[in-house]
Amino acid sequence: MTELNQTALKIVSNGKGILAADESTGTMTKRLDSINVASSPENRLIFREALFSSNGMENFIGGVILFDETIKQSTKSGNSIPELINQSGAVIGIKVDAGAKILAGSPEEKVTEGLDGLRERLTEYYKLGARFTKWRAVYNITEKHPSELAIKSNAHALARYAALVQEANMVPIVEPEVLMDGDHDINKCYEVTAKVLNECYKELKLHNVDLKGTILKPNMILPGNGSKNESRTGEIAKMTLKCLKENVPGEVPGIAFLSGGQTEIEATQNLNEINKINDTNFALTFSYGRALQQSALQYWGKNQEDLVNVQEIFSHRAKMNSLSTLARWTENLDKINIQ
């Protein structure tokens, strides 16, 4: 087993998943504005440090994705954030893309930038303790989109990124996110996701990326959030698994879903249903941002001195999602009494 394959498996196996805490400063400011907390580097650290030092980390979180600001911060007691995460046993990850920018040639779509100087930045992040990375591409569904141009240019960038990351001895998370926005049905999401995944793996192979040393972070197959036709969790699970089986090469060790705007319970329940019918060798787990943090963040907005319960709420969500990776979650187990 190669070192990269081992690292990937450590992050996604044994009932563990990923805490995506890599919101850019802009996104984190939006989240903090919504709970009326000033978005200062200190406040961003207080909330994140609370999550990273909670009980839930040790048993349920295999990896944490950080933003550049956070990987360089230290706690009041003098530990660096990478030290704090290492103590929990989780692997340190870092978001390395520079964001999704308007795609010249198809200005209603986005292409993710950040390849310039990436080799040098990766060396720096490795020294800071990072052993895996993230790059996110986004695709909008409309009647005309995503265009072939958006699908091809994002796949090319993802593959160049992944090859550079493996060269630097880290595991790349490949994240092609087909967004939930729109009134399309679940079949449309399936069709677009299949095309996007196919192109990504074509490019990853062309760039000689060792798929055993990667993790895929995809969207689940869902109807658009403006769609009139609701889908049941059983249908979502079936279509998601089918799409992955048909379009992701078997060498990929782990698939960690993004939550993408689902509620906390939806994200947990859908992951549980997917694992109930998982007949593949993929470890199927979570790499959630909002679906792990939302309740904890809301509580913190109202009770800023009570970090203990912020940690309890987060640990509970981590545990529930861990149960879902083992297909052992139930609605009853999810009831918690902190308001």
Q: Cis link prior to 41 (omega < 30° from 0)?
A: no
Q: How far is CA 322 from the centre of its chain?
A: 15
Q: Which is nearer to ligand 13P, 222 or 291 (CB)?
A: 291
Q: Which is nearer to ligand 13P, 49 or 177 (CB)?
A: 177
- Tokens matching residue 98: 């520079």
For 114-132, b/e burial (b = at least 16 CB within 10 A) is bbeebeebbeebbebbbbb
* Residue 175 a catalytic site member: yes
Q: Which is nearer to ligand 13P, 7 or 219 (CB)?
A: 219
Amino acid at 119: R
Q: How far is the CB of 18 from ligand 13P (least distance, A)?
A: 8
Q: Which is nearer to ligand 13P, 208 or 262 (CB)?
A: 262
Catalytic residue among 10, 95, 217, 319: 217
Rg (Cα) of the chain, in Å, rounded? 19
Instruction: Count CA atoms closer than 13 A to 318's CA, side-chain side.
Output: 26
SS3 325: helix
Catalytic residue among 49, 109, 175, 177: 175
Instruction: Report the interface residues with ligand 13P, using CB under 6 A.
Output: 20, 136, 175, 258-260, 288-291
| Cα(189)–Cα(193) distance, integer angstroms | 6
* Residue 205 a catalytic site member: no
| Cα(210)–Cα(56) distance, integer angstroms | 32
Q: Which residues are catalytic?
A: 175, 217
